[in-house]
Structure 1
Amino acid sequence: MPLSFSLADEPFLQVRYLDGRTSRLGLRGLFTDAAKIADFESPHPPAAAAMLRVLYGMAFRIAAAMEPALADGDVAAAPRQWLRARNSVLATGQFDPGCVQHYFDAVGAGLDLFDAARPAFQDPRLVQECVGTDGKPSPSGVNKLVAGRPSGVNGAILFGHGTDAAASPVHPGAAIWEVLTQSYFGPCGQCTPRRIKADKPGNGMIGPLRGTVSYHPWGPDLFTTLLLGLPCPDPDHADLAPAEPFPWERADLPDALAPAEALSWPAGVLTGRSRHAVLLVPDRENGQIIDAYVTWSTKAAPSPALDPYLIYDTGKGDELQPRKADLDRSVWRDLDALMMDRAGTSRPAIFRHTRWMPSHLRPQVRVRALGFAQERGQQRDFGWYSATTPPLVPWFHEHDPAMALRFEQCRTAAESLGKALQYAAKQAWADVVARGKIDAKKPGPWVEPTMTAYWSDAETIFWELTQSSNTRRPHLDFRSAAETALTTVISTQRRDIRIARALQHARALLWKAVPTPATPVGQ
Structure 2
Amino acid sequence: MVDGTRAVYGLRGLLADAHRIESLAVGAPPAECALLRILYALGLRVSGFDEIGGADRYDLLEQGKFDADRVGDYFAGYSGRFGLFDPVRPWMQEPRLPLQMDTVVEKGRHAGQIDRKSSGIGKLAVTRASASSSAWFGAFHDGAPVPVPGAEAAGHLLTWLWYGQGGPQGPNRRTPGHSGRHASVGPLRGLVSYHPTGRTLFETIVLGIPDTELVDPDLDVAPWEADELPDPGRELPTVAGPVSLLTGRAQHALLLMPSADRSAAEDVYIAWAWPSTLPPAMDPYLNWLEGSKGQQYAQRAAVGRPLFRDLDGLILHRKPGSKQRRPLIMDAIHDVPAEVLEHVGVAAYGFEQDREKAGGEKGWYRAVTPAVLRLIREEEAANAGRLAVARERAELCASRLVWAVDEVWKETAVPASDPDKKEYAGRSPLGKRALAAYWPLAEAEFWLLVEQRAWERVVVVFGRLAVSLYDRLTREITDAQQPRTVRAVVRHRGKVASTLPKSTEAEAATDGEAA
- Contact 1:215–1:309 (CA under 8 A) maintained in structure 2: yes
1:293 and 2:269 equivalent?
A: yes
Corresponding residue number in structure 2 for 1:229: 208
| Equivalences for residues 508-523 of structure 1 within 5 A | 508-511=494-497
CA distance in 1 between counterparts of 2:104 and 2:494 reads: 68
CA distance in 1 between counterparts of 2:378 and 2:139 reads: 48
CA distance in 1 between counterparts of 2:251 and 2:343 reads: 36
CA distance in 2 between counterparts of 1:443 and 1:114 reads: 50
Corresponding residue number in structure 1 for 2:513: none
1:452 and 2:431 equivalent?
A: no
Corresponding residue number in structure 2 for 1:250: 226
Counterpart pick for 2:410 among 393, 412, 430: 430
Counterpart pick for 1:380 among 343, 360, 371: 360
> 1:40 aligns to what SS in structure 2?
coil
Amino acid paired to 1:318? G
Corresponding residue number in structure 2 for 1:128: 99
CA distance in 1 between counterparts of 2:500 and 2:135 reads: 41
**1:359 deviation in Å?**
2.1
Amino acid paired to 1:454? Y
**1:268 deviation in Å?**
2.1
CA distance in 2 between counterparts of 1:101 and 1:156 reads: 43
- Contact 1:233–1:266 (CA under 8 A) maintained in structure 2: yes
- The number of residue pairs the alignment matches comes to 484
CA distance in 2 between counterparts of 1:441 and 1:377 reads: 28
- Contact 2:82–2:91 (CA under 8 A) maintained in structure 1: yes
1:164 and 2:142 equivalent?
A: yes
**1:344 deviation in Å?**
5.6
> 1:395 aligns to what SS in structure 2?
helix
- Contact 1:139–1:291 (CA under 8 A) maintained in structure 2: yes
Corresponding residue number in structure 1 for 2:245: 269
Q: CA RMSD in A?
A: 2.4
- Contact 2:6–2:25 (CA under 8 A) maintained in structure 1: no
Corresponding residue number in structure 1 for 2:111: none
Amino acid paired to 1:245? V
Counterpart pick for 2:155 among 177, 181, 184: 177
Structure 2, unmatched stretches of 5+, are 106-113, 504-515
CA distance in 2 between counterparts of 1:156 and 1:313 reads: 35
**1:309 deviation in Å?**
1.0
**1:286 deviation in Å?**
4.5
CA distance in 1 between counterparts of 2:496 and 2:17 reads: 54
Cα distance change, pair 176–201 in 1 and its aligned pair in 2 (3 A): same
Amino acid paired to 2:130? S
Corresponding residue number in structure 2 for 1:79: none
Amino acid paired to 1:255? D
- Contact 1:417–1:475 (CA under 8 A) maintained in structure 2: no
**1:316 deviation in Å?**
4.7
- Contact 2:464–2:500 (CA under 8 A) maintained in structure 1: no
Provide Cα deviations, 1:482-517, integer angstroms capped at 9, x if missing partner: 222222112112433211221122222224566999
CA distance in 1 between counterparts of 2:473 and 2:379 reads: 42
Corresponding residue number in structure 2 for 1:393: 373
> 1:35 aligns to what SS in structure 2?
coil
Cα distance change, pair 35–184 in 1 and its aligned pair in 2 (3 A): same
Amino acid paired to 1:306? M
Moved more, 440-449 or 382-391: 440-449
Corresponding residue number in structure 1 for 2:195: 216
Amino acid paired to 2:360? R
Corresponding residue number in structure 2 for 1:402: 382
> 1:183 aligns to what SS in structure 2?
helix
Counterpart pick for 1:501 among 487, 491, 506: 487
CA distance in 1 between counterparts of 2:461 and 2:421 reads: 27
CA distance in 1 between counterparts of 2:330 and 2:279 reads: 22
| Equivalences for residues 27-426 of structure 1 within 5 A | 27-64=11-48, 70-71=49-50, 82-131=53-102, 134=105, 136-152=115-131, 155=134, 157=136, 159-192=137-170, 193-197=172-176, 199-234=178-213, 239=215, 241=217, 244-342=220-318, 343=322, 345-378=324-357, 379-396=359-376, 398-426=378-406
CA distance in 2 between counterparts of 1:143 and 1:492 reads: 45
**1:209 deviation in Å?**
0.6
- Contact 1:144–1:151 (CA under 8 A) maintained in structure 2: yes
Cα distance change, pair 377–154 in 1 and its aligned pair in 2 (3 A): farther
Structure 1, unmatched stretches of 5+, are 1-15, 65-69, 77-81, 518-523
Amino acid paired to 1:104? F
> 2:250 aligns to what SS in structure 1?
coil
- Contact 1:257–1:300 (CA under 8 A) maintained in structure 2: no
> 2:314 aligns to what SS in structure 1?
helix
Cα distance change, pair 169–502 in 1 and its aligned pair in 2 (3 A): same
> 1:202 aligns to what SS in structure 2?
strand
**1:452 deviation in Å?**
1.4
- Contact 2:41–2:243 (CA under 8 A) maintained in structure 1: yes
Moved more, 282-291 or 204-213: 282-291
**1:207 deviation in Å?**
0.4
Cα distance change, pair 123–316 in 1 and its aligned pair in 2 (3 A): farther
Give the TM-score normalised by structure 1: 0.86
Provide Cα deviations, 1:51-94, integer angstroms capped at 9, x if missing partner: 11111111100001xxxxx326xxx6xxxxx2202211221111
- Contact 1:233–1:240 (CA under 8 A) maintained in structure 2: no
CA distance in 1 between counterparts of 2:360 and 2:57 reads: 40
CA distance in 2 between counterparts of 1:155 and 1:204 reads: 23
